[in-house]
Amino acid sequence: MYTYATLNDLLTQVAGKLSDPDFVFWTRAELTIYANDALKIWNSIARSFRDRGVFITDSGTQFYDLSTTLRNGASELIMGRTVTQAQLITQMKYMLMEPNPTNQTSFTDQFNLADLTSAITLNTNEFLLETGCAVSIPADQIINAGSGRITIADDTLIDIIRAQWQTPEGYIYILVREDDFTANNFTPTWKQSPGTPSRFSIFPSPLLTVQLLPPPADTGTLQLQVIASGSIPDDFTPYVLQGALAGLLSKSGPASDPARARYFDTRWAEGIMAGKQVASVLQAYLNEQPINSGSLFNADHFRPNWINEQGTPNSLGILGQNLVAPYPAPSEPFSIMLDVVRNAPVLVNDDDQVPLGREYYDLLINYIVHTATFKCGYAEFSFTMPLYEAFIRAAIDYNSRLTGQTLRFPFMVELDRQQTQREPLRISA
The stretch 178-201 carries a mean pLDDT of 85
Sheet holding 71-72, edge to edge: 64-65, 323-327, 315-319, 289-295, 281-286, 335-341, 50-56, 71-72, 76-77
Three-point CA angle 370, 80, 125, nearest 5°? 70
pLDDT at 414: 57
pLDDT at 95: 96
* Mean pLDDT value across the chain: 90
- Amino acid sitting at position 397: D
Contact 31, 368 (CB under 8 A): yes
pLDDT at 183: 76
The stretch 295-324 carries a mean pLDDT of 91
Q: What is the pLDDT of residues 414-429, one digit of tens each?
A: 555 555 555 555 544 4
pLDDT at 294: 85
pLDDT at 284: 94
Three-point CA angle 367, 369, 372, nearest 5°? 110
d(CA 401, CA 419): 27
Q: What is the pLDDT of residues 329-370, one digit of tens each?
A: 999 999 999 999 999 999 999 999 999 999 999 999 999 999
The stretch 387-392 carries a mean pLDDT of 97
Nearest to 307 by CA among 293, 325, 321: 325
Which DSSP string corresponds to 279-320?
A: --EEEEEETTEEEEEEEHHHHHHHSGGGGG-EES--EEEEET
d(CA 343, CA 388): 21
Q: Is the pLDDT of residue 89 over 90?
A: yes
pLDDT at 188: 82
Angle, to 10 degrees, between the axis of helix 385-405 and the axis of helix 361-372? 140
User: 282 falls in which pLDDT band (50, 70, 90)?
Assistant: confident
The stretch 205-230 carries a mean pLDDT of 90
% of the chain beyond a pLDDT of 90? 72
pLDDT at 416: 53
* SS3 (DSSP) at 161: strand
User: 241 falls in which pLDDT band (50, 70, 90)?
Assistant: very high
Q: Is the pLDDT of residue 411 over 80?
A: no
Q: Is the pLDDT of residue 400 over 90?
A: no
Q: Percent helix, strand and coil across the chain, each rounded to 5?
A: 40, 20, 35
d(CA 110, CA 112): 7
The stretch 395-421 carries a mean pLDDT of 66
Contact 150, 224 (CB under 8 A): no
